[in-house]
Structure 1
Amino acid sequence: MPQGIPKKVRYAFMVQVALGSLVIVLGVTFAFSSALRVLIDARLRAQADEYWSIIERNPAGPLLPETELVHGYFLRKGAAAALPLTLRKLTAGRHYLAGEGRDVLVEARDPGVLVLSMDFSHARRVLWMMGALLMLGGIAAIHLVSWLTYRTTRRLVAPVSWLAEEVSRWEPDAADPGSLIRERIPGEVGREVDQLSSALTTLSSRVQAFVQRERDFTRDASHELRTPLTVIRVASDMLLADDAIPQRSHRSLQRIHRATRDMEAVIDAFLILAREDDIAVQGEDFDVHDVVMEEIEKVQPLLQGKPVELRVTGHSRPRLDAPPRVLGVMLGNLLSNACIFTEEGSIEVEVLDDRVHVHDTGIGMSPEVLQRVYDPFYRADPFRSGKGMGLSIVRRLGERFGWPVSLESQPGRGTTATIRYG
């Protein structure tokens, strides 16, 4: 789950404090290391200059002063080295003896070689103690500043977080815009928060009105559209049963009867799709094979006069617990398309345990057409019958009931449509 704004703000300040503390530690460490090196170099150089001045005043045999912290050795050219073992192998320049904690300067001039050893342990401790205090002070300061800034930011962000949490509990039909009044919003409520609260209140009222209109339409359409269609279907059934009706009129009545049943199926599909996802659709246990046979009977007239064989294969008899009209609408659209776009050959409906295939040997579809075939009102061939809504309805119904639909097609070789329900 993505982090909320307060958590992100807190994380940002924690990262800021961590990075700031790291910068302070590294900066103070580098600064004091450089300063300590410069000071020690200066002290060694000053002491060396003092010793060289003593040597110049008494070149015969200078006696260099020594203390507990400073040891000086002068080696005249050609004389034997009278140095401690730790100093004998040192070359000219600056050295640090970690084992003894002493800094050594080896310098050669015309009279000979000066070896100067000094102990700066106390100076190092004092400087690093000051550096540590400076680090702690800087880290404490950045923590304090970040904490105060975080508290201020949290007060500014609190109203937005509260609004988001409040709105997340709303139901489309039970939102309470009155809960967003200014007096209930925590934190510092600024002009932007007032505008957001007002916009959410207005949006809530519009959503509630929209939901109510959708429910009213669904209820009214369910009654107002079914009633005239039922009258037309019953009247056409009565006329079809009258033997006195001429054959030509009989064919027209069959078309009216078939169109009425198709319209009822489409209305059922639209009403199902118009319902909210969390509202269960009343279903029943039915045999998929029976629905297939019923839809095949409906599309038989579309193949009159065509050398096309329509057959059902597969020995499975799967059963589903869902509205059978939904599967009927999906299969009916797929079969209608197969009958319309197949001029010769065969149409095969294969019923399996977890899916049903509709194979045809029709004109097929190119990859470009397959990419747009589910778009509402899109028709690859505008001169053939249909309004281009079929496959769009099929896909939406499949998504609603968890029955994904897939198409495989090649131009000139036919199309295979699959509905997976298992």
Structure 2
Amino acid sequence: MDGREQQAAIRRGTFGRRLAIVFALQIVVVLIATFMGMNNVAPLWAVLAVVLCSGGLAWMAVAREWKPVSALARAMETWDPNRPDMEVFGSGHLSRKSDGDVVSLVKSLHGFATRIESYGERERNFTRDASHELRSPLTVIKMSSDMLADEPLLSEFGHRSLERIRRSARELEALVEAFLILSRESDKGLAEEDFIVNDVLRQEVEYARELIAGRPVELILDEPATFALHASPRVFAVLCGQLIRHALQQTDQGRIVVTVMPGSVSVINPAVDAVEAPSARKAHTSVDRHGFDLAIARRLSDRFQWPLELRTLPGANRIASIRFPHPQIA
């Protein structure tokens, strides 16, 4: 803390005291002028002139005291968080007679603006570095697994291990896409376009079928309706992919149906009841039930205002549906 801020800290609260003094003096002047007018000591016009002058001087004194607060308010109106100017909240703009409360407010705003600037810088660095540093090894893993799949001398155990690697790489790729979208403060930078949701869903269903290879689970895409959206197809694909993967995690065996209805997409999966069928629950111990994909889907739906609804029907069927407020005709 420099000498100017120390002096301002000592004068903390002087703004209120100065206002009290100004108004007290104004009241005294008005009372004296009124008394002089009532006793014919001064003419009426002189009394009015004194009252008006005292009011004008009081207003000028209050305006002078309020000037630092007004300057700070104007600085906040013109301050851009995307291009922050820290000098706006610097103590160099304060006069030596600034009130301690104003200095404290400026210091707090300076610290808050600095944190926002640091947060924005971390966000940009993360999205830039993660986009490159995480996707590059994933690309190498996918290419290497494709090359190993063509190896004729690979054993059956090697093929099973290779499929697990490919499925894990696919899941990690989906998680990276979701995290990169959620890490942004806003959805700026995501290209929006008109696309048919059915085409994007077909691709996501094909990707998901790779995750259920060797499991008694059937994944079906039901398309009684077709509609389009003006949004980011990447966000839509990640959101629907997370719901489909969540259904795969919650299903030991049976049929999962992805249905396209006018303005909505739903995922229906049969969930095994632990009370009625404990043996069926143990059939596939590799099934993960922690619901991490569903948590990501909720955050995506909240971010882009696509309501997500979860229901449970008789027979242990679970339905996760997404409603799109502004569908378009395909």
1:170-319 map, 5 Å: 170-181=79-90, 184=93, 189-277=98-186, 279-300=188-209, 301-302=211-212, 304-306=214-216, 308-319=217-228
Task: Indicate conservation of the 8 Å contact 1:236/1:253, yes or no.
Answer: yes
Counterparts of 2:194 and 2:306, CA distance in 1: 16
Aligned partner of 2:307 among 386, 392, 404 = 404
1:396–1:157 Cα change, 3 Å = farther
Q: Secondary structure at the match of 2:257?
A: strand
Task: Indicate conservation of the 8 Å contact 1:181/1:197, yes or no.
Answer: yes
1:321–1:254 Cα change, 3 Å = farther
State TM-score, norm by structure 2.
0.67
Identity of aligned residues (%): 37
1:347–1:195 Cα change, 3 Å = same
Counterparts of 1:285 and 1:296, CA distance in 2: 20
Aligned partner of 2:237 among 325, 328, 337 = 328
Cα offset, 1:419, TM superposition: 1.4
Higher relative contact order (CA 8 A, sep 6+): 2
Cα offset, 1:173, TM superposition: 3.5
Pair member with larger Rg? 1
Extract unaligned runs of 5+ from structure 2.
Answer: 1-50, 275-284
- Which has the larger helix fraction? 2
Counterpart residue type for residue 212 of structure 2: L
State TM-score, norm by structure 1.
0.54
Counterparts of 1:319 and 1:364, CA distance in 2: 37
1:418–1:191 Cα change, 3 Å = same
Q: Secondary structure at the match of 2:198?
A: helix
Counterparts of 1:419 and 1:241, CA distance in 2: 39
What corresponds to 1:354 in structure 2? 263
Counterpart residue type for residue 265 of structure 1: A
1:392 and 2:301 correspond: no
Counterparts of 1:295 and 1:352, CA distance in 2: 17
Counterparts of 1:231 and 1:251, CA distance in 2: 19
1:251-306 deviation per Cα after TM superposition (whole angstroms, max 9, x unaligned): 22122112212212221221122223162312454432232222223333437443
Cα offset, 1:348, TM superposition: 1.8
**RMSD in angstroms over aligned alpha carbons?**
3.5
Bigger mean CA offset, 143-152 vs 227-236: 143-152
1:151–1:222 Cα change, 3 Å = same
Counterparts of 1:181 and 1:327, CA distance in 2: 44
Number of residues paired by the alignment?
265
Q: Secondary structure at the match of 1:409?
A: strand
1:278–1:331 Cα change, 3 Å = closer
Task: Indicate conservation of the 8 Å contact 2:265/2:323, yes or no.
Answer: yes
Task: Indicate conservation of the 8 Å contact 1:359/1:416, yes or no.
Answer: yes
1:49-96 deviation per Cα after TM superposition (whole angstroms, max 9, x unaligned): xxxxxxxxxxxxxxxxxxxxxxxxxxxxxxxxxxxxxxxxxxxxxxxx
Counterpart residue type for residue 409 of structure 1: T
